[in-house]
Every structure is written in C-alpha cells, then in structure tokens.
C-alpha cells in the first residue's frame, strides 16, 4: 500500500533534494496536502529551504530548522517536526541530507515512522566519485540504515551530470543499479531526470519515469 510518509536519503550529490522537491510538487498537483521537511543538519546551502518561495507559492508546507540558510552553523533538527506525524491526511516528504550523520539524527523518530508506516527511497547517482559501483552504494545504504535504524524500500535512480546531463547519462551505468537492486532485494522504482535526460528511456522502463524540474537554480541562472 502507498504510504503517506516518504523519506529521501542517499549520498550527498545524489540529487535527493531536487528529487524530494519534485516528489512533493507532484503530490501537491494531485490535490493532496503536502509537507516537506528540510532534514539537513550538515550542509550550509543548496538545500530544500532554498526553495521556500516556490513551496509557498504551490501551497506546500515547509518545515525547516529556523537557522537553515542563515549564518548560524548549527546541526539542529526542526522544532515542529513531530506535527507531521499527527496530520494524518498529509503527505510528508523528508529530505535527509548529510549522509549517515543526517540519518543518525533521523533515527530518533524511528518509533513514529514505524507506527505510521513509511517508505524510504534510496536516491543514487552513479556519476559521483566514491559511489560509482553497486558495492559503494551498498556500503552507503548499510551505513544509513544502521544510523537511522530504518530500512530502504526502493531505489530512485537519479544518475546525472547536472547541466551536462544528456539522453545517455541516466542509464550509462545501469548495470550497477540493477546489481544494487538485486543485492538489496528492493526494486528500482523510479528513473529520474529532466525531460531532456529522459528522452532515451527503454520501453520496458517507461512506467518508472520520474520527470523532474530543477527548483534550486544557481544564482546566475535565469529561471
């Protein structure tokens, strides 16, 4: 059954923030109430909180540490986070930054996640050094699962090279993702990318397509 709580986690640079933002927007566009949680206790910028304006405009509630994107460099969790577990009619999207350090902080809510049910999506990008092979991802997944005491339920392939992504990027190392999927015993639920990145998706994978928009542009990019 589709759960209402979705956790996005993975190595930094996997693109999980953009994936989580896109997931939240898609759910909102279906008419659902949506809350997104900026659960990044490590990174100072390029985080969910940077999309505050867009989220406001779309009517998506943002829960973020009150010091996110400010000059206070403090690894704290958002104060009002527990409210998402009480809002039974709300889709809750967690963007968990900071690798296993971030996951460790998330683990304190394990009893709530288990009580309400959750899906935890492992966002992977094979174009990142140190995480290119199935074994690297497996090690990262284990570290996150051990730290958070939660289990991944599926994989989101988000292999990309930022602005240099082309139609061949997403599946360029797909055998590693298939291997990872077998080893973890979970399926690759989604293959993610912007429209241009998705122009070459094999027919049998059409149903897994997750088309994204970029919601956190660089300061010099005109939207």
Partner 1 sequence: MGEKVLMKGNEAIGEAAIRSGCRHFFGYPITPQTELSAYMVKKMPKIGGVFLQAESEVAAINMVYGAAAAGVRAMTSSSSPGISLKSEGISYLAAGDLPCVIVNIVRGGPGLGGIQPAQSDYFQATRGGGHGDYHLIVLAPNSVQELVYLTADAFNLSDEYRIPVMLLGDGTLGQMMEPVDFDSIPEPVYAEKPWAATGTENKRDKNVIETLFLEATELEERVLEREKKYDVVKEKLQRYEAHNTDDADIIISSYGITSRVVETAVKILRDEGIKAGVIRPITLWPFPEKIYKQVKPKAFLSVEMSTGQMVEDIRLACECSAPVYFCGRTGGVIPTPDEVVQKVKDILKEVK
Nearest CB to partner 1, comparing residues 44 and 202: 44
CB of 169 to partner 1, least distance (A): 9
Nearest CB to partner 1, comparing residues 203 and 218: 218
**Which residues inside 156-185 make contact with partner 1, applying CB under 8 A?**
160-164
Nearest CB to partner 1, comparing residues 118 and 215: 215
Q: CA triplet 68, 69, 71: central angle to 5 degrees?
A: 100
Number of neighbours of residue 128 by Cβ within 10 angstroms:
19
Contacts of 206 (CB under 8 A, 6+ apart): none
Q: How far apart are CA 95 and CA 18, in angstroms?
A: 9
Residue 133: both structure tokens together: 């092979």
**Which residues inside 117-156 make contact with partner 1, applying CB under 8 A?**
125, 127-130, 132
Q: Which position among 2, 31, 57, 71 is part of the footprint of partner 1 (CB under 8 A)? A: 71
SS3 of 69, please?
coil
DSSP assignment of 172-193: TTHHHHHHHHHHHT--EEEEEE
Q: Given the rule CB under 8 A, which of 20-28, 38-46, 58-66, 109-117 is the region that contacts partner 1?
A: 38-46
* Residue 1 in contact with partner 1, rule: CB under 8 A: no
Q: Which of 186, 223, 165, 211 is nearest to 23 (CA)?
A: 211
Q: How far apart are CA 222 and CA 217, in angstroms?
A: 8
Q: Which position among 2, 73, 86, 89 is part of the footprint of partner 1 (CB under 8 A)? A: 73
CB of 153 to partner 1, least distance (A): 25
CB of 180 to partner 1, least distance (A): 18
- Give the number of residues in contact with partner 1, rule: CB under 8 A: 24
**Which residues inside 3-32 make contact with partner 1, applying CB under 8 A?**
12-13
Query: Can you give the three-state secondary structure of 28-59, one letter per residue?
Result: HHCCCEEEEEEECCCCCCCCHHHHHHHHHHHC
**Which residues inside 199-218 make contact with partner 1, applying CB under 8 A?**
218
Q: Note the residues at the interface with partner 1 (CB under 8 A).
A: 12-13, 43-46, 71, 73, 125, 127-130, 132, 160-164, 218-222
């Amino acid at each position: 059954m589709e759960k209402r709580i979705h956790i996005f986690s993975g190595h930094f640079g996997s693109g999980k923030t953009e994936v989580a933002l896109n997931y939240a927007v898609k759910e909102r566009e279906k008419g659902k109430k949506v809350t997104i949680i900026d659960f990044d206790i490590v990174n100072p910028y390029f985080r969910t909180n940077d999309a505050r304006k867009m989220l406001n405009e779309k009517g998506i509630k943002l829960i973020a540490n009150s010091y996110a994107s400010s000059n206070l460099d403090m690894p704290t969790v958002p104060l009002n986070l527990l409210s998402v577990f009480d809002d039974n009619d709300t889709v809750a999207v967690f963007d968990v930054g900071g690798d296993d350090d971030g996951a460790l902080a998330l683990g304190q809510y394990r009893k709530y996640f288990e009580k309400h049910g959750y899906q935890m999506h492992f966002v992977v990008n094979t174009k990142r050094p140190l995480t290119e092979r199935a074994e690297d991802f497996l090690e990262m997944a284990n570290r996150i699962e051990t730290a958070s005491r939660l289990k991944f339920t599926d994989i989101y392939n988000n292999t990309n090279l930022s602005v240099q992504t082309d139609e061949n990027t997403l599946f360029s190392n797909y055998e590693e993702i298939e291997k990872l999927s077998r080893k973890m015993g979970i399926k690759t639920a989604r293959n993610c990318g912007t429209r241009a990145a998705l122009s070459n998706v094999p027919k049998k994978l059409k149903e897994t397509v997750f088309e994204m928009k970029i919601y956190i542009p660089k300061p010099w990019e005109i939207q």
